[in-house]
Amino acid sequence: MRVGDLDVQPLIDGTFTAPDDFFGDADLATHPDILDADGRLRLPIGCFLVRSGERLVLIDAGVGPLHDDTFDGGQLLEALDAIGVGTGDIDLVVCSHLHLDHCGWLIDRNAQPVFASARLAVGARDWSYFIEDEAGFMRRSIRAGLVDVAEAGRVELLDGDAELAPGVTVIAAPGHTPGHGCVVLSSGAERLLLLGDAMHCPVQLEESDWRVMADVDADLAARTRERLWRELEGEGVRGTGAHFPELRFGRVLAGSGRRWWTLSGPGTP
C-alpha cells in the first residue's frame, strides 16, 4: 500500500485463536463469515513496516516464537528477511500497546533487544501499567530487557499525540490499554490509520456493543472505537487493525447501514 510518499508493508507474525468468550457473551454464530471451518475465530497477528524517506519504522512487534492454544507466532523475522530487511535495519519500533502479541519480538529470551539499532516509542501510561507498576502481564525477560533499553536512552514515552517521523504520527486511543495509541500515516491528502487493537475485527462496526475481554476500560474503549470509525468515514482515509482478516485495508462507507468496505488494492471506493 502506498500512502503518498510512504510505503506500507503488512507483515504477519502468526495466528491468534480467540477464546469463545473473547467478545464476552456475544453470539459469534450470528456472523459465520468471520469463523473458520471449525467455528473458531482465528485472526492474524499483524505488524507493519513503513518506509518514510530513508527511515524504516516497524509498527508493532508480534508475539514472537510462542506456540500455545491461543498464539502461534514467530514468523515476523522471516517475513522481514523475505523483503530484504534485517533486524539491524529498523530505525524505530512503535508499539500500539504492550500486550504480549504486540511486543513479543522486542526482546529475546536472553533479555537482549532484537532490533538492536532501533528506538522504541510506546505510550507512557502503558509503560507505567506493564513495566513500572506490573499491573498488566508481561514476560519477565521482556520487562527486564525493556528496562535496560530505557536506561540506554532508547525509549520514547508518549503522552498524547506525537509525530515520530515524517508522515508518521501516533494518536492517543486509550481503553484497550491505558496508553494504547493508533498510528496515522499521512502524505498529501491521503491518510491511513493503523488501529492496533483499538478494534479487533470489522464486525465491531456493526456490533458496536461487542466488547473485548482484554479491554482494561471497556467503556473508554467503546468511545475510542466510535471516534475512529467516524474518522474512517473521511474522504481519502483508509485503515486496518493488527488483527483484521488478512490485514487488508478498508474504509467506512457512511450513510444508511454504515459498513466496512475492504479494498482490493490502492485507492478508495
The domain tally of the chain equals 1
Residue range 25-78, pLDDT digits in tens: 999 989 999 999 999 999 999 999 999 999 999 999 999 999 999 999 999 999
Is 267 within the bounds of a domain?
no
Is 269 within the bounds of a domain?
no
In this prediction the pTM is 0.95
Domain coverage including residue 244: 2-262
Is 149 within the bounds of a domain?
yes
Residue range 168-202, pLDDT digits in tens: 999 999 999 999 999 999 998 899 999 999 999 99
Is 116 within the bounds of a domain?
yes
Grid cell of 104 as nine digits? 513479543
Strands 55-59 and 119-123: unpaired
Is 268 within the bounds of a domain?
no
Is 53 within the bounds of a domain?
yes
* Contacts for 140 with CB less than 8 Å, ≥ 6 apart: none
Is 210 within the bounds of a domain?
yes
Is 7 within the bounds of a domain?
yes
Contact 130, 100 (CB under 8 A): no
CATH for 7:
3.60.15.10
